[in-house]
Structure 1
Amino acid sequence: MTAVVTGIGVIAPNGIGTEAYWSAVLGGRSGIGRITRFDPSGYPVRLAGEIRGFTAAEHIPGRLIVETDRWTHLGLAAADMALTDAGADPAAFPEYEMAVTTSSSSGGTEFGQREIERLWRDGPRHVGAYQSIAWFYAATTGQISIRHKMRGPCGVIATEQAGGIDVLAQARRLVRDGARLVVTGGTDASLCPYGLTAQLATGMLSTGRYLPFDTAACGYLPGEGGAILIVEDGSRPAARPYGEIAGYAATFDPPPRSGRPPALRRAIEGALADAAMSPADIDVVFADAMAVPELDEREATAIAEVFGPFGVPVTAPKTMTGRLYGGGAALDVATALLALRHQIIPPTVGVRDVPARYAIDLVSDLPRPSRLRGAMVIARGHGGFNSVLIVTSPQGERDDGTHSRRAAEADARGRRRR
């Protein structure tokens, strides 16, 4: 059974709402700046992708605001956006044929920090009752399910950055098992002292810029936000799919050798096999782009081994948002689907000097119009998780071959430059 994405809701550092985000991405506008949610002067990392201008009260009931953490506020708002975009009214679906599955990385860190501070400062009687649920990694799934009366299979996957891909694969399984609509994806909001300190423990954060695949790469910058997507079985006549979930695979590669090319390559090849596609069927790869030199080279090696040296355009729009942990790969998939719809590859901003030994065709600075039918998204989660998802244009658009001459010519120019 086909699993198609019919709705997208984005809340990102460089745009609230899918249209605003996509415009920012194509315009190369970054949402990364100095942290303002707390004073970062005492921390080595002072830059992040913050969401500015988001007011929870404009999107969710006041009762839920005090009961839940910011990451759940973002998830609830993005879910509403995605349902509206899909034209899907939950009241029109049987309750037990709707499901929710989201990714989680750090949970409700800001809420948890506030309550822990009260515990230390004032004692246990001053800790709020909602501490028991607001920090919980399944809180966003639960709140979306409750709000929209979605009583089908509900769950959460905690595989850090890779989770945004893993939950989409789970959504496809649920659709194949009979769910008519699945709310999926993820958000994150760990820009608080507790959250940042936990992230610093990996030793992979940058104290300056975020420049994946560049000779100046020195780590990534964190961010908040993500994307929620609506996955359906393709039977609803009013739906206008962005694309189909065509293939998926995951491997596990535990530390200290996490992200080795053989393991990542197996995930890439497994996703192609699952989709019954060849490397030639993939028109763009959205890279994990860790910006840690050793890990960048491992990813580049895996891509070049499968697709050939400079064999496929590669991009990493997350240079404009930072890595969003539980929300990151879901946002990458949303971006890939938008690229398929608009037939253009978004850029990787800021990168100037890609080592020749990487042998990848990195789309940098400016968008590249191109004939796009299949897109691959790669994600690696801290701790050894490798996940790869393939999305394709809706079936009719893949088969009719109607792409503009201008896009085809631009694609040919891009390939000649390699």
Structure 2
Amino acid sequence: MSPRPVVTGIGVVAPSGIGADTHWKTVLAGENRIGRITLFEPDRYPTTLAGEVPDFDATRYADNRRLVQTDRWTHLGFAAARLALADAGLPEVAGNPYGYAVTLASSSGGNLFGQRELQRLWSQPSRTVGAYQSIAWFYAASVGQVSIHHQFKGPCGVLVAEAAGALDSLAHAARIIRRGTPVVIAGGTECPLSPYALACQMRNGLLSASDDPERAYRPFDVAASGYVPAEGGAVFVVEDLEHALARGVTTIYGEIAGWGATHDGRHTGQVGPVDPTQYARSMRLALDRAGCAPEQVDVVFPDALGVPRYDRSEATALRTVFGPDTPPVTTQKPLIGRAHQGGSALDAANALLALRHRVLPPTAGLDQPAPGCDLNFVRRTREHPVNAALVGARGFDGFNSSVLIRAYPTTGELPGQRTGDDR
């Protein structure tokens, strides 16, 4: 029997709070945490709102020697990884370092650190940058620093697919476990909140220009006008089931049962139609690899970009896979913003927590669905048996990823359980 990858620890560092429990309470209560950007003065930009992690003290999660070498994005990763390890009941430094791997997602890299050093380069007579500029901005910095910090020396790597990356990292973690490494740190964090990073995002033409935190980010709604950027994300301990049971683990959030990744083969533009074909195919691949029929899916956590043509395309993809009567659909991004790969990691955390607590969190930012976006939205927090959750994400420039997460049964196997499939 092929090893089964299960999630035994969740670490959340997000605008919704620090720690999975705090985050989950915010989500269930529907509390909006979007506000005016404070990491820099945003008045000169059309976008002034974002989701920022409140009261974050990086010194609680790493020593100053590592902090001065790294960007806030990596600081958030240090915190989320430590929280995930503690939640899983695992040591921070492994006795067998080659039995632990790190595979995190990344997209924009160390923006705040790079901004500071470039300003220093061009504004001072010395025309120099700090010694750590060459590594702090690098897209693989968080993977490298987390693996060094915890001395995890198994097969490590970074997944780069914008928002789809965190789901790719979960899929890759499952593959690593099936190849013999018992513990993998997966997920992703992000901090795209610097003048340079915001200017880069503005070029895509998809950012919301609203100054009302309650109305700025409204996926699938008639008032949808773009997304709100955010920092943060989630990190997971993905573990071989037998390894987890042998050490007496008490909580298994769910099993990574299937995944699919496809590509549209086209650039993300400001205008024009959005083809749902490959996104729908990624969902079908995830269901097929999990041995899960569409009617067995209990909830979908969508990408929810908040751009009308992308929302319509996503709704079409869901109806293509599930038919006109889709499973319950819910998104919490309007509460906290879109944190690129950190956002899809938070969607995966929400799916795992929904499985664990058998509760569906309400859809945020939705009053009236836009034409073509009529789905089975969750309108209020409600208890609901959740055995299978599908998480979808679309990365800019054509990346599509889907992951099927199945509840870990207390007795026997769930219908359709497939083993030994390492496609």
Please give the TM-score of this superposition, normalised by the length of structure 2: 0.92
Confirm whether residue 363 of structure 1 aligns to residue 381 of structure 2.
no
**Distance between the aligned counterparts of 2:386 and 2:296, measured in 1?**
9
Aligned to 2:357: 342
What percentage of residue pairs aligned between the two structures are identical? 49
Alignment of 1:148 with 2:150, yes or no, is: yes
| Structure 2 match to 1:75 | 77
TM (norm. structure 1) is: 0.93
Aligned residue number for residue 115 of structure 1: 117
- Is the partner of 2:68 in helix, strand or coil? helix
CA spacing shift, 1:397–1:234, aligned 2, 3 Å? same
Query: Does the Cα contact within 8 Å between 1:104 and 1:159 map onto a contact in 2?
Result: yes
Native 8 Å contact 1:309 1:359 kept in 2: no
How many residues are matched?
A: 400
Q: Which moved more, 1:90-99 or 1:314-323?
A: 90-99
Give the residue type in structure 2 aligned to 1:299: E
Given candidates 383, 399, 402, the residue that maps to 1:388 is: 402
Listed as ranges, the gaps of 5+ residues in structure 1 are 402-418
How much has 1:255 moved relative to structure 2?
Answer: 2.3
Q: 1:354 aligns with which of 369, 372, 376?
A: 369
* TM-aligned CA distance change 1:166 to 1:173, over 3 Å: same
Q: 2:266 aligns with which of 239, 255, 264?
A: 255
| Match for residue 226 of structure 2 among 206, 213, 219 | 219
The aligned counterpart of 1:410 is: none
Equivalent position amino acid for 2:388 in 1: G
Structure 2 distance, partners of 1:161, 1:300, is 18
Residue range with higher mean Cα deviation, 180-189 or 117-126: 117-126
AA aligned opposite 2:224: A
Question: Which residue identity lines up with residue 132 of structure 2 in the other structure?
Answer: Y
1:31 positional shift: 1.3
Contact 2:276 2:316 in 1 (8 A): yes
Alignment partner, residue 414 of structure 1:
none
> Post-superposition shift, 1:359?
3.3
Give the conservation status (yes or no) of the 8 Å contact 1:304–1:359. Answer: no
Counterparts of 1:241 and 1:123 in 2: how far apart (Å)? 56
Give the Å deviation of 1:363.
1.4
- Partner secondary structure for residue 126 of structure 1: coil
> Distance between the aligned counterparts of 2:34 and 2:356, measured in 1?
26
For the 8 Å contact 1:3–1:234, the answer to whether it is kept is: yes
Matches within 5 A, 1:148-187: 148-187=150-189
CA drift at 1:318: 1.1
1:333-368 alpha-carbon deviations (Å, 9 max, x no partner): 01100000011111122210003533311113x212
Which stretch of structure 1 is more off in the superposition, 254-263 or 84-93? 254-263
The separation in 1 between residues aligned to 2:198 and 2:374, in whole angstroms, is 34
Whether the 8 Å contact between 2:186 and 2:235 is mirrored in structure 1 is: yes
Match of 2:15 in 1: 13
Give the secondary-structure state (helix, strand or coil) at the position aligned to 2:390. strand
The one-letter code matched in structure 1 to 2:233 is G
Q: Report what 2:63 is aligned to.
A: 61
Partner of 1:325 in structure 2?
340
Are 1:31 and 1:51, in contact at CA under 8 Å, matched by a contact in 2?
Answer: no
Tell me the SS of whatever aligns to 1:203: coil
The answer for the alignment partner of 1:299 in structure 2 is: 314
> Is the Cα contact below 8 Å between 1:373 and 1:398 reproduced in 2?
no
Deviation at 1:78, TM superposition (A): 0.6
1:95 corresponds in structure 2 to: 97
Within 1, Cα distance between the matches of 2:195 and 2:144? 26
User: Secondary structure at the residue paired with 2:84?
Assistant: helix
State which of 228, 236, 246 in structure 2 corresponds to 1:229.
236
Selected match of 2:128 from 126, 129, 133: 126
Whole-angstrom distance in 2 between the partners of 1:257 and 1:222: 17
Unpaired stretches in structure 2, ≥5 consecutive residues: 211-215, 416-423
Q: Secondary structure at the match of 2:329?
A: strand
Partner SS for 1:30: coil
Give 2:421's aligned residue: none
Matched residue, 2:213: none
How far the C-alpha of 1:262 sits from its partner, in A, is 1.2
Residue aligned with 1:204, SS:
coil
More deviation, 377-386/347-356? 347-356
> For the Cα contact (< 8 Å) 1:206–1:220, is it kept in 2?
yes
Note if contact 1:9-1:18 (Cα within 8 Å) is conserved in structure 2: yes
| CA positional deviation for 1:308 | 1.7
Q: Deviations over 1:111-157 (max 9, x none)?
A: 00100001001156531000010001111101110111111111101
Separation (CA, whole Å) in 2 of partners of 1:224 and 1:56: 14
| Equivalent-residue separation in structure 2 for 1:262 and 1:152 (angstroms) | 36
How far apart are residue 400 of structure 1 and its match?
8.3
Report the Cα distance in structure 2 between the residues aligned to 1:355 and 1:331, rounded to whole angstroms. Answer: 25
- Higher helix fraction: Structure 1 or Structure 2? 1
Identify which range, 391-400 or 65-74, moves more after superposition. 391-400
> Which of 6, 28, 31 pairs up with 2:30?
28
2:93, 2:152 within 8 Å by CA — same for their partners in 1?
no
Q: CA separation in 2, counterparts of 1:248 and 1:151?
A: 25
Q: Which residue of 2 aligns with 1:407?
A: none
